[in-house]
Structures are given as C-alpha cells and as structure tokens.
Amino acid sequence: MALDSVLFYVLAVLILTSAILTITRRNVVYAAVWLINTLVGVAGIFLLRGAEFLAGVQVIVYIGGIMVLFLFVIMLVSNEDEALQRRFSNQKWLALACAVAVCGMLAVIVVRGVGGLDHPGMAEAPPLGSITQNSQQVGEVLFTQYLLPFELASILLLVAIIGAIVMSKTRKRAAEG
C-alpha cells in the first residue's frame, strides 16, 4: 500500500514538473527531452495501474517513434535566432486567464464527481497479473470485439504515412520554375 502511494506521488511530481518544463523551455530540443521525461512518467503510471502492455506501447511508439520524429524535425527546421525570439505570444495573459477558467470548471467537475468514483469495489487494487496475462487480455479484446476499429486504424496509419511523405517532399519542378 505505502509503496504504491509513494510511487504514485513520485510519478505525479515527475510528470507535472516535466510537463511544465516542456512548455516553458526556450530551446525546443530541451522541451522535447522534457516531454520524453513526461512520457516515461506516464508509462510508469500505466505500470502502476496494471497496464503493462500499454506501458510497453507507450515507450516503443511514443518515445521510440514519435519523439525521434520530433527530434528529426527539430533538426530540420531549427532557426539560429531562436534564442532571440519571444517565447510566448502576445495574447499570453488572456490565454492564461482562459486556461485558469477552464481549470476552475474542471476542478468543480472533479470535486463534485470524485465522490462517485470511489465507492467500494471501484477503488480496489488492480488484479495482480503477469505481463503475458495483460497482453493476452488486451489482444483478445483487440482482435475480437475491436477488430474493425483495429483495421481502420491501420488504414489511418497508411493515409498518415502517405500524407506525411506528400507534405514534406520537395517538388523539383516547382523549385526550378
């Protein structure tokens, strides 16, 4: 019990500080590295909740795939004068006020709702299972009940790949003309 609580609070502090550092760093590479830190923390939260397969997917796809893509693009589009640029937009105080308002609304919803989340039976610890059990359960549901969304996701990824290539390739003829 105590170990779970300590791990949760450590991971929560790690996630939130890394997230705040992600959106405040001037250097985009630092922001990307702090985002990787956040994603590792979220993977730890998945492990705490007994979602081992999801934690693996998080590390492999998010950190190994998406963040490497981010770092590549940062290298491609980096400006030398980034350090001289303003970090925040002109509307930052208005934006911050809007965000605080959204936070207030969400806080009201959460404070009113959390009582209903914690009735007995819902708050108990996740079942202890090995990593194969969790993967097996996820796989069974994914390939039976969610088979059609799974196939649609593969089409979505294909479209995204083609779209990314078309977007980012240079048009030789347009460049010459």
Partner 1 sequence: MTGMMEITTSHYVVLSTLLLLVGVVGILTRRNILVLLMSVELMLNAVNINLAAFSASLQQVHGQVFSIFVITVAAAEAAVGLGILIALFRNKQTIHADEIDLLRW
Residue 136 Cβ, how far from partner 1 at the closest point, in Å? 10
Residue 176 Cβ, how far from partner 1 at the closest point, in Å? 15
Residue 177 Cβ, how far from partner 1 at the closest point, in Å? 15
Residue 13 Cβ, how far from partner 1 at the closest point, in Å? 10
Which residues, at least 6 apart from 151, have a Cβ–Cβ distance to it below 8 Å? none
What is the spatial distance between Cα 69 and Cα 57, in angstroms, rounded to a whole number? 16
What is the three-class DSSP state of 77?
helix
∠ at Cα 12 (9, 18), nearest 5°?
Answer: 140
What are residue 78's phi and psi, to 5 degrees? Answer: -70, 140
In one letter, which amino acid is 129?
G
H/E run at residue 91: none
Asked if 37 contacts 13 with a C-beta cutoff of 8 angstroms, the reply is no
